[in-house]
Amino acid sequence: MKKFIFFFLILGSLQAQIRLPKLISDGMILQRDAPLTLWGWASPGESIALTLAGKTYKTKTSPQGDWKIQIPAHAADGKAHEISIKGKNQILLKDVYFGDVWLCSGQSNMVHQLDIHDVTYARDIEEANFPLIRQFLVPTIGRLQGPAKDLSGGSWQKAIGENVRPFSAVAYFFAREIHLKYGIPVGIINSSYGGTPIEAWTSEEGLKDFPDFTTTLNKNKDSIYVAETQKAAFTPPRASKDLGMAEKWFSTEYTPKAWRSIQVPGYWEDQGIRNLDGVVWYRKEIQISADASLDAPKLWLGRIVDADEVFINGQKIGGFTYQYPQRRYKVPQNLLKPGKNLIVVKVSNFFGKGGFVPDKPHALILGKDTIDLRGEWKYKVGEVFEPQAPRPMGISVQNQPSSLFNSMIHPFVNFSIKGVLWYQGESNAGRPQIYEKQIRALVTDWRRHWPEVPFIHAQLPGFMEYTYLPTESNWAQLREASRRTLDIPRTAMTVNIDLGEWNDIHPDNKLDVGRRMALAARKIAYGDELVYSGPIIQKAQKQGQKIILSFEHIGSALSTADGEEPQEFAVAGSDKKFKWVKATLQGKQILLDISELPEAKYVRYAWADNPVNPNVINSEGLPASPFEIEVN
């Protein structure tokens, strides 16, 4: 009996503890100039008192133990505040500022931290000293069982020195621009997840007009269905038969036999190996001079498809399990030595071409000296993967409709924000026809919680191989879907077509994306008068043997980035068979010569996955958006 009494005393004590959402914590930024809601949990019927700036606000918890307190608007006064929340226990929140809070969401190009781009932005990291720019990094997790009440973790971090490395690079550069321009604290809620589609970020209510997604949502509510689907899709781990690992090909004691020559960078399928999915080992001996600096050496191997393990002088120094990260490895001190050194790379490829992605840096960095690693290496196949029978697809929870809204957005819909930055779309490029409708649904959905919140989205940059003939393109269709949503009030789109890399879905230039988002925010969120966007097509009118294109957001005049005539314009008749046409600038318009296709009905600009030379800009140097438009 005493044990039961003791148990209930402990339970009662636990129930009495006030609990706050993870987002409401020390060091947070609260939205200035707007009524606020703070909330949490305690025991049912408990009296809660919140004290801020000398004023106390009171409430009682519901029968379920929930409580909310409304706080009137506060200005950004530049002072650190404390917030006391008292019930049967007391919580004191310190170092709280009022400023502007931006929700930064999307997939990997919003995720990408400064740390991943620390070569390009080494100086920005070193000089970061912005205690009033703070990020809350939302843990990446999906949820099928409906909206969650709280996040699974996270804390507010200041943008100071090395602590800035986990910041979203795009969001950091955006926040830095806004902070320096207006002198206010800026909070970043970084709620983003690599490789995820837009429907995962939209609530069940927001997807009601998408029958395919609602069908999936309903299926996913059945835990038995989910468990059986995952069980049927389970693939046992592949038993390794890698001869290279068994014989220790990475060792300095190993004597290579029957190795062949191969060029790095490059794919092995392009160098005499046909359709090999498996493990290929690369080997190169290098000479280091006696006077070379061996302090903090670095090894750059570009991108590798798909996975790698890297060894120097027999010691493993790193590796990645997927293809996208840049391979920039720090070499342990005292591992390299003057004279002969051995670099061995084990590359595993599971689908498509395998090897080293071209057009990336491949070098050993030794202080001011660089040893170029491009050129001839030796290779040997360690394992060939046998084709496996197709298995049913499993459920990737983070990619399911509403799963990320449930776990990474809903827990803080009560938290006031200034605006939204959205960088996403790569994962929806396979179905671009519905993306416009999806963006509209997302904006409407999120504005049910944050009414009329400014929404700024990044149009996708160029990516993949160049095409020198007019072509169809899913990525172009996706960019067009983004452009067509600009009639939604208080939205803006940054044009980034010039910021891509043909061989990297995660281009290095995150600074200009952040700056362009800040320009858009200055207009639609802060009311500044400025040219904040690249040229956006307005209309196309036929006049004799010419088509006259008119734009908005052009400043004083249209121009081109290279001083040449406008490029990347194509026209088509009703058959939509597009042909290049000559374009000329005329002040605030562009004229297309259609003398060879007088029946032209459609115009496209920069319509490709990665257009070769989309050179039209405005007087502010911002690039024109790709488009397709019908001629009037």
- CA angle 131-70-23, nearest 5°? 40
Average pLDDT over residues 461-489: 97
Task: Please tell me the least confidently modeled range out of 40-54, 82-96, 383-397.
Answer: 383-397
- Quickly count: other Cβ atoms within 10 Å of residue 148's Cβ: 16
CB 159 within 8 A of CB 124: no
Q: Which two tokens stand for residue 587?
A: 């002040």
CA torsion through residues 51, 53, 54, 57, sign: negative
- Quickly count: other Cβ atoms within 10 Å of residue 80's Cβ: 13
Peptide bond into 222 cis (omega under 30): no
- Rounded CA-CA distance 372/582 in Å is 43
* 3-state secondary structure string across 460-484: CCCCCCCCCCCCCCHHHHHHHHHHC
Nearest to 397 by CA among 169, 188, 143, 34: 143
Q: Is the pLDDT of residue 616 over 80?
A: yes
Q: Is the pLDDT of residue 622 over 70?
A: yes
Percent of the chain at pLDDT exceeding 70: 97
- Rounded CA-CA distance 187/109 in Å is 19
Residue 15 has a pLDDT of 53
Average pLDDT over residues 181-188: 98
Confidence tier at 388 by pLDDT (50, 70, 90): confident
- Rounded CA-CA distance 487/170 in Å is 25
Average pLDDT over residues 482-498: 98
Residue 16 has a pLDDT of 56
Confidence tier at 562 by pLDDT (50, 70, 90): very high
DSSP state of 190: E
Q: pLDDT tens for residues 297-322?
A: 999 999 999 999 999 999 999 999 99
Q: Which two tokens stand for residue 316?
A: 């493993």
Residue 392 has a pLDDT of 86
Q: pLDDT tens for residues 239-277?
A: 889 999 999 999 999 999 999 999 999 999 999 999 999
Residue 1 has a pLDDT of 44
Concatenated DSSP letters of 270-281 = GTT--S--EEEE
Close Cβ partners of 590 (under 8 Å, ≥ 6 residues apart): 548, 549, 551, 558, 566, 569, 583, 584, 616
Concatenated DSSP letters of 52-120 = ETTEEEEEE--TTSEEEEEE------S--EEEEEESSSEEEEEEEEEEEEEEEEESHHHH-BGGGGTTT
Q: Which two tokens stand for residue 166?
A: 């986990």
Nearest to 360 by CA among 421, 307, 403, 301: 301
- Rounded CA-CA distance 609/122 in Å is 30
Average pLDDT over residues 220-241: 90
Residue 598 has a pLDDT of 95
Task: Please tell me the least confidently modeled range out of 14-28, 98-112, 315-329, 491-505.
Answer: 14-28
- Rounded CA-CA distance 421/265 in Å is 36
Residue 13 has a pLDDT of 42
- Please tell me the number of Cα atoms within 13 Å of 147 on its side-chain side: 12
Ramachandran region, residue 606 (left: φ > 0; alpha: ψ -120 to 50; beta: rest):
left
Residue 582 has a pLDDT of 98
DSSP state of 303: -
Confidence tier at 398 by pLDDT (50, 70, 90): very high
Confidence tier at 602 by pLDDT (50, 70, 90): very high
Close Cβ partners of 195 (under 8 Å, ≥ 6 residues apart): 107, 108, 398, 399, 426, 427
- Residues facing residue 41 across a β-bridge: 19, 66
CB 504 within 8 A of CB 358: no
Check residues 554 and 4 and name the one with the higher pLDDT: 554
**What percent of the residues of the chain are helix, what percent strand, and what percent coil, each to the nearest 5?**
20, 30, 45
Average pLDDT over residues 170-198: 98
Q: Is the pLDDT of residue 462 over 50?
A: yes
Residue 5 has a pLDDT of 39
Q: pLDDT tens for residues 211-223?
A: 999 999 999 999 9
Supply the mean pLDDT for the chain: 95
Concatenated DSSP letters of 491-547 = EEEE--GGG-BTTBSS-S--HHHHHHHHHHHHHHTT---S--S--EEEEEEEETTEE
Confidence tier at 235 by pLDDT (50, 70, 90): confident
User: In whole angstroms, how large is the CA radius of gyration of the chain?
Assistant: 28
Percent of the chain at pLDDT exceeding 90: 94
Confidence tier at 403 by pLDDT (50, 70, 90): very high
Q: pLDDT tens for residues 91-131?
A: 999 999 999 999 999 999 999 999 999 999 999 999 999 99
